[in-house]
């Protein structure tokens, strides 16, 4: 039996386990990336391991999330990360150089390599043929230290693309169609691999848009072949030396096949408040809008913004619409400035933002109350924009630009004029905003600088044998990491300070939760399906840990968040009988006796509701390694013991 692209890369990097679906495997990691909202904690964890220098082929730290400096906290974090990088062998991308996934795709990505990043949209690298996976910061720290990255061997879904996109139908519409078919939890435990004649019609930036937003499927990652289009992109970036061809074997077998004819697609939109709540733009046409935001790691490439500039040229943004545009990198911004496209964007009345995540992570540009905002981003979770009652729609750059001019939802195909953006033969290359690390000989001279907001990684202890805890919170299905640990301009500066940021934990759902959990000093959270979907932010596990949460019991977990709970030493349990969820209430007294032995034995975990006099059977699917991590009180303790 032949191998898929993903299986070929895994096979070449396998250091532990066998490629049997559903079993634990460890893979060697070639590259890592961090961003500043997760990076500080990752580097504190790396320091705690006592390793002098990273052991990857390339590790890069990006400053792109916390760039709004309204106090000292973000600037201190950036200084800390820069000095850690200089000392320990990590490349540092300065603020203003661009969004981590856009810059990494341009300057460091390489087909056939493995990459993990402390950001859930790291699968962007799959657009160039990398096995690129989002992970918690502690997993990234371990990989920087030379450790393997452990995942459950995924199933492989083959999305076969045929035909060619119609004019003003875009790559964003392809991934929205995949989300419509698979849903936000349909990719859990799977890699999505693209193939077919339609792939040849897509450039690397278009492919990267698709793999980027594949994170919203809950998938481990998404990946495209490495072919002549990949080589063309790498040549234009002056990096053709890293090119290798990567194709699936003709007799590769897949666990699931989805077929999409690109020629039949039309402009789509993800409606509030989920990326899989899909409607056609035709269905929404005529709805009045208040704001348009174009950018993010999904749709801020040179080709995306050239199409936007063409649509805007010689026109003016509609009255009552605020249009904000954030180029994805300094490279993109410079090229737009040099060819005149930036002037067209400015003339139309757009507000040009810095090359950073910005509004996508809730860092500015919050819509007006009850505002309708069209965004080319990847997430539209409730409140993520900073305005809780705003209606956020996810659309393509073409739909966004045309609608900004008309003031209402508009099908961009009505404005098709035959214009096509050609991929540059040569991108503008200037890496002066990437600081190289000190040499091995010089590293000991570097002093790591810490600000007062930077606190140590929370200390954990081995799991107790008997737990007597209280239900401190009960939540519904599809709880996101934005519910658990909100982002935004007020909260993101506290990412280096777990005691301070924990005061905001779950306040979107229940403002009293932090105080209640702290007072209990030992609690359990109960939830529904797909608990923890969204970001890779390990703060969504570390804050509950700090507040005394011992167990999270849910109907099902999102992949990265479950891994982060294990890494934090919090026991992740799932209902065997989902109806048991209905019998637990806030304040119920819960007991789990002899839990260490129950975990060691590997069977079901018995949970007793003392208040209701009920007993529940729950599952806790852990590999031997995961058991040791939980029993040790988390991955950091486990790693330092080993």
Which of 413, 432, 447 corresponds to the end of one domain? 413
Residues 278 and 260 in one domain: no
Query: Are residues 510 and 363 part of one domain?
Result: no
Q: Are 31 and 143 in contact (CB under 8 A)?
A: no
Among the candidates 241, 264, 287, a domain finishes at: 264
pLDDT of residue 640: 82
**Same-domain pairing of 110 and 241:** yes
What the block records as the tokens of 125 is 């690298």
Buried-state track 522-552, b at ≥16 Cβ within 10 A, e below 16: bbbbbbbbbbbbbbbbbbbbbbbbbbbbbbb
pLDDT of residue 69: 86
Contact predicate 568/562, CB 8 Å: no
Query: Same domain, yes or no, for 25 and 64?
Result: yes
Domain shared by 39 and 179, yes or no: yes
Q: What is the pTM of this model?
A: 0.94
pLDDT on residue 642: 65
Q: Read off the CATH number of the domain in which 300 is found.
A: 3.30.499.10
Give me the pLDDT at residue 66, please.
87
* 307 and 226 within one domain: no
- What's the confidence (pLDDT) of residue 472? 98
Phi, psi (rounded to 5 degrees) for 332: -65, -50
Domain match, 227 and 92 both: yes
Host domain of residue 355: 268-413
Q: Are residues 349 and 473 in the same domain?
A: no
Residues 40 and 153 both lie in one domain = yes
Residues of the chain predicted below pLDDT 70: 642
Q: Tell whether 435 is covered by a domain.
A: no
Last residue in a domain, options 264, 289, 323: 264
Do residue 293 and residue 307 come from a single domain?
yes
Q: Are 153 and 19 in contact (CB under 8 A)?
A: yes
Burial of 55 per CB tally in 10 Å (0-12, 13-18, 19+): middle
Residue 355 counted as domain residue: yes
What total of structural domains would you count in the chain? 3
Residues 546, 564, single domain; the answer is yes
CATH assignment at residue 489: 3.20.19.10
Residue 421 placed within a domain: no
Would residue 356 count as lying in a domain? yes
Residues 406 and 471 in one domain: no
Structural tokens at position 77: 């974090």
What per-residue confidence (pLDDT) applies to 352? 97
């Amino acid at each position: 039996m032949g191998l898929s692209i993903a299986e070929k890369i895994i096979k070449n990097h396998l250091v532990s386990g066998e490629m049997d679906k559903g079993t634990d495997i460890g893979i060697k990691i070639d590259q890592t990336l961090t961003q500043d909202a997760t990076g500080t904690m990752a580097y504190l964890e790396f320091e705690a391991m006592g390793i002098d220098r990273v052991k990857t082929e390339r590790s890069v730290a990006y400053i792109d999330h916390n760039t709004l400096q309204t106090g000292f906290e973000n600037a201190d974090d950036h200084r800390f990360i820069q000095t850690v990088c200089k000392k320990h062998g990590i490349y540092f991308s300065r603020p203003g150089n661009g969004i981590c996934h856009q810059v990494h795709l341009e300057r460091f990505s390489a087909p056939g390599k493995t990459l993990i990043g402390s950001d859930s949209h790291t699968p962007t690298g799959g657009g160039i043929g990398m096995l690129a996976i989002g992970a918690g910061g502690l997993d990234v720290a371990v990989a920087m230290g030379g450790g393997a990255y452990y995942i459950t061997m995924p199933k492989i879904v083959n999305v076969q693309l045929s035909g060619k996109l119609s004019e003003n139908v875009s790559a964003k519409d392809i991934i929205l169609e995949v989300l419509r078919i698979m849903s936000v939890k349909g990719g859990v435990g799977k890699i999505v691999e693209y193939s077919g004649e339609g792939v040849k019609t897509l450039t690397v930036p278009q492919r990267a848009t698709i793999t980027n937003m594949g994170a919203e499927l809950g998938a481990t990652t998404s990946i495209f072949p490495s072919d002549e289009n990949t080589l063309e992109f790498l040549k234009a970036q002056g990096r053709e030396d890293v090119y290798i061809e990567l194709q699936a074997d003709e007799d590769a077998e897949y666990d699931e096949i989805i077929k999409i004819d690109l020629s039949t697609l039309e402009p789509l939109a993800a409606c509030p408040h989920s990326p899989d709540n899909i409607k056609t733009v035709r269905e929404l046409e005529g709805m009045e809008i208040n704001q348009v935001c174009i950018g993010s790691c999904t749709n801020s490439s040179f080709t995306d913004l050239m199409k936007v500039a063409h649509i805007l040229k010689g026109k003016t943004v509609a009255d009552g619409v605020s249009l904000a545009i954030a180029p994805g990198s300094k490279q993109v911004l410079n090229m737009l400035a040099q060819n005149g496209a930036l002037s067209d964007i400015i003339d139309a009345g757009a507000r040009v933002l810095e090359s950073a995540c910005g509004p996508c992570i809730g860092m500015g540009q919050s819509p007006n109350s009850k505002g309708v905002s069209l965004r080319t981003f990847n997430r539209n979770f409730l409140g993520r924009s900073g305005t809780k009652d705003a209606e956020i729609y996810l659309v393509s750059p073409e739909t966004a630009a045309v609608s900004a001019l008309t003031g209402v939802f508009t099908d961009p195909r009505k404005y098709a004029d035959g214009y096509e953006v050609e991929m540059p033969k040569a991108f503008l290359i200037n890496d002066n905003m990437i600081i190289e690390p000190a040499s091995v000989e010089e590293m000991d001279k570097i002093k790591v600088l810490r600000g007062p907001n930077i606190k140590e990684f929370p200390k954990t202890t081995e799991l107790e044998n008997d737990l007597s805890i209280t239900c401190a919170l009960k939540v519904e299905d599809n709880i996101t990491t934005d519910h658990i640990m909100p982002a935004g301009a007020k909260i993101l500066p506290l990412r280096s300070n777990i005691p301070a940021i924990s005061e905001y934990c779950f306040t979107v759902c229940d403002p009293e939760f932090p105080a209640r959990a702290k007072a209990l000093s030992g609690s359990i959270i109960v939830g529904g399906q797909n608990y923890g979907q969204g970001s890779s932010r390990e703060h969504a596990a570390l804050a509950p840990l700090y507040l005394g949460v011992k167990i999270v019991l849910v109907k099902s977990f999102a992949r990265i968040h479950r891994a982060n709970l294990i890494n934090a030493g919090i026991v992740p349990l799932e209902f065997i009988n989902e109806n048991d969820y209905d019998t637990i209430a806030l304040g119920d007294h819960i007991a789990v006796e002899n839990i260490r032995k129950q975990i060691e034995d590997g069977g079901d975990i018995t949970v007793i509701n003392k208040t209701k006099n009920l007993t529940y059977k729950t599952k806790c699917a852990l590999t031997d390694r995961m058991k040791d991590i939980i029993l040790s009180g988390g991955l950091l303790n486990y790693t330092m013991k080993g």
